[in-house]
Structure 1
Amino acid sequence: MSVTDETVMFGDVVEDFLTDRATLTRRGLNDKSRNAYRQDIAAWARQLHVDDGGDPEAEALALVPISALTDQNVRIAYRSLRESSAAATCQRRVGTLRLFTHWLQLEGHLLVDPTLRIEAPERPSRLPAGWSVDELRRLARVASAPREGTDRRRWPTRDRAIFAVLVTTGVRAAELCDLTVGSIRREPDGETLVRVIGKGDKQRNLPMPPEAVDAVDAYLAELEARFGSPDPADGLFLLTSGKRLRPGALNHLVETWIRLAGVPKQPGEAAHAFRHSAAKGLIRSGVPVPAVQGLLGHEDLKTTGIYVKATASDTRDAVLLSPAREVLRETAVASEPIVTREDRAVRERPA
C-alpha cells in the first residue's frame, strides 16, 4: 500500500498498532499505557485536521487519512503542538509518533518516515521541589482540623489518613486512588504494609509507620460507620458521596490544603509534591538510595539519584545562607603579600 492511499484512516489502524506494541513490548501494555498512546496519536490527528481547516471538536481519528502524514504536514503540526504543550508532553508525543510511523512503514502504509527532521524538545532540568518540615506541619494541621461551615464534602479523618499515606510512603496520586481496603495488610509480626500497584502493573509492599497506621485506622472506623463494613476489593479512599476518590479530586483537595496552610504551590500536580517531600526527607535522613528507589518504585537508580542532587542543592543553599558568612566578612583582614624565595634572594643580594 502506498502513501497516496486515501482510504486508510488513523482510526482504522490505531488499535492494530496498540496490539502490536502490547505484543512486542517486554512488559506489555496496561490500560493506562494503551490510553496514553491512543491519546497521543489522537492529538496528532486532531492537529493535522485543524491545520487542514477542520473542526477541532471533530473525531479526527475517523477523519484524517494516514496519507496526511507527510513531512511538511508533520512539521506544521509539530510547531503548533510545541506552542500549546509543555516540553515533557511534546517530547512524549513525538516519541509516540515515531513509534507509530515506524510501524506504519513496516505495515506498508507509509513509504517514508515524516518524523526524521523533528527534534523533540529537551525536558527542563528542574530539580524536584518539596516542602520543609515546618510546611508539612502546617499542611497536616489543615488536613486534620475540622473547618467551619456545613460543606458535607469535608471529611477531616479521611483527609488526615490521605495526608499520612502520601507523606510517609511517597506514593503517586494515581497509586493512592487505586488503593483498596485490602491493600492494607496486617502482618503477624505487627507490621502494617500497604500494597501498591505502580507503573507497568508492578507491585510493591510499603511499610507504614505507626502514626500513619493510626490515621488510616481512625478513617476506616468512620468509613464503616458511614457505609457499612467494606469489602476488601472496595476502594480505600472515598468521597463523602461514597464514590471512589480520583486523582483530579485528590489534587483539588491538596490544593485546598496548600491555600489554607499558606505554603508555596510546587510545580506540577499538587499531590505529587508529597512524593518529592518524602523522597528528599529520606535522603536527608541518611536512608540509602537503593532503599528509596524501592520505596518510590523507580526502575532506574538514576531517577532516584535526582533527589540526591536536589538534596545536595538544598545543602549548598543552606551554606550560602549561613550567618557565619557575615562574621567572616566583618572580621576579614587584609593579608600581607606573600614573599617568595626568589624575592627574598633578590632583597638579600649585596648591592
Structure 2
Amino acid sequence: MDWNSAFIDFNEYLLLEKGLSQNTQLAYIRDLNKLRIFAELHNESNPCLIDKFFMQDFVYDFAKKTKSDKSQARLISSLKAFFNFLQIEDRREDNPVELIESPKIGLRLPDTLSHSEIEKIISTIDLSMPEGTRNRTIIETLYGCGLRVSELVNLKLSDLFFEENFIRVIGKGDKQRLVPISDWTIKYITIYKETVRSHQNIKPKNEDILFLNRRGGKLTREMIFIIVKDAAERAGICKKVSPHTFRHSFATVLLKNGADLRSIQQMLGHESITTTEIYTHLDKQQLRDAIEKYHPFYRKNLE
C-alpha cells in the first residue's frame, strides 16, 4: 500500500464512518502529510511497514521543529487515528504510535471581547461601501448567533426563519441545529440583503448563499478572518481577535447573564457539555462577589 491510496481510504473512512466535517478531514491529512514527507526522505514508501522506532524518530524530529505542545498533541492524535484505521482494515497488526504520549496541555481560556469592545470594532467599519454593510452584518451574526466561521460562510437564505426568530445551522459532521436570532441581528441581515446583496450579479450555485464576495461568489473562511482582523486592528484592540473570538464572547455573555450550560451547549452545537464548560471561567472579583452575596458566613458579617 502506498501513501496516496492509504490517504484516500482514510479520508473515506473519516467521512463515511466517522462523519467528520471536511475541515476536520483536511486537518488530519495535513498532519499525515508531515509523516509522508519524513518517510519519503527515509525511503519508507509503505505506511504499513513503519515500526514504532521510526515513529518515535519522526515525533521527536517534529517536536524539535515545533515548540507548540498543542500542535504536537494534535499530530499524535492524527497519527493514532490513522494507524488505528489501518488496523481496522487489517493492513497492520499493531499501532506504532500507541505508546507515544502526547504532551500535557493546560487549560487555555479563550480570548473574549466585551460588548463595548465589539461595538468599537463595528464602529470602525466604513458603511459607505457595500462591503462595509456586509462586514458589519457578518460581525453582528458571529456575535449574535455564536457561529463557527465555517457555519457562517455556508449560511443560506433558506436557513433563515425570521418569523420564528431562528436560523438553521449546519455544524460539524453535517449536524443541523436551530439557533435563536434576535430582532437586532435580523435587522442588519435584512438591510444587507435588501441594499447590497439584491444588487449583485450572483454566480451560479451561489443563489442561496447569504454572504457573498464582490464577484457574487461564496466567501472563504480566510476572507472572514481578514475582515475581522482588519476591523479589530482599526479599533485598536490589542487582543488576538479571530471569528472564533466572537463565538467565545457570545457564550461568555450568555453565561454571565444567567443562561444555563445546557442551553448554551445546544446553541453552540457542542457534542459534549465538557466543551461548553470552558466558558464557566470567571474573574476573581466575580467569584468574590458571589461568595460575599451567597455564603452565610459572609452574609452574617454584613448583618
After TM superposition, the score normalised by the length of structure 1 is 0.73
Query: Residues 204 and 233 (structure 1 numbering): CA distance in 2 closer, same or farther, change over 3 Å?
Result: farther
Output the amino acid matched with 1:72: F
The equivalent of 2:193 in structure 1 is: 220
Contact 1:175 1:196 (8 Å CA) reproduced: yes
Higher helix share: 2
1:51-101 CA-to-partner distances (Å, cap 9, x unmatched) read x2x8xxxxxxxx732255222221121123233374333323212222222
Counterparts in 2 of 1:122-271, with a 5 A limit?
A: 122-143=104-125, 145-146=127-128, 155-187=131-163, 191-221=164-194, 222-227=196-201, 234-266=208-240, 270-271=242-243
1:230-260 CA-to-partner distances (Å, cap 9, x unmatched) read 9885221111222211110100110001110
Q: Which runs of 5+ in 2 are unaligned?
A: 291-303
Contact 2:2 2:46 (8 Å CA) reproduced: yes
Counterparts in 2 of 1:1-351, with a 5 A limit?
A: 8-22=1-15, 24-25=17-18, 28-50=19-41, 52=42, 64-66=45-47, 69-82=50-63, 83-84=65-66, 86-143=68-125, 145-146=127-128, 155-187=131-163, 191-221=164-194, 222-227=196-201, 234-266=208-240, 270-308=242-280, 310-312=281-283, 315-316=286-287
Question: Would you identify which runs of 4 or more consecutive aligned residues in structure 1 move more than 6 Å?
Answer: 228-232
Secondary structure, counterpart of 1:227 in structure 2: coil
Contact 2:162 2:186 (8 Å CA) reproduced: no
Structure 1 residue 173: Cα displacement:
0.8
Q: How many residues get paired?
A: 288
Q: Which runs of 5+ in 1 are unaligned?
A: 1-7, 55-62, 147-151, 320-351
Q: Which shifted more, 108-117 or 71-80?
A: 108-117
Contact 1:224 1:230 (8 Å CA) reproduced: no
Secondary structure, counterpart of 1:206 in structure 2: strand
After TM superposition, the score normalised by the length of structure 2 is 0.84
Contact 1:139 1:258 (8 Å CA) reproduced: yes
1:139-171 CA-to-partner distances (Å, cap 9, x unmatched) read 12113644xxxxx7x611111111110111110
Structure showing greater Rg: 1
Give the Cα separation in 1 of the matches to 2:156 and 2:16.
Answer: 29
Give the Cα separation in 2 of the matches to 1:287 and 1:108.
Answer: 48
Structure 1 residue 113: Cα displacement:
2.8
Give the Cα separation in 2 of the matches to 1:162 and 1:242.
Answer: 16
Over the matched positions of the two proteins, sequence identity in percent amounts to: 26
Contact 1:254 1:270 (8 Å CA) reproduced: yes
Structure 1 residue 303: Cα displacement:
1.3
Contact 2:265 2:276 (8 Å CA) reproduced: yes
Query: Residues 203 and 111 (structure 1 numbering): CA distance in 2 closer, same or farther, change over 3 Å?
Result: closer
Q: CA RMSD of the aligned region, Å?
A: 2.8
Give the Cα separation in 1 of the matches to 2:9 and 2:200.
Answer: 46
Contact 2:20 2:172 (8 Å CA) reproduced: no
Output the amino acid matched with 1:315: Q
Output the amino acid matched with 1:14: F
Give the Cα separation in 2 of the matches to 1:112 and 1:180.
Answer: 45
Structure 1 residue 288: Cα displacement:
1.4
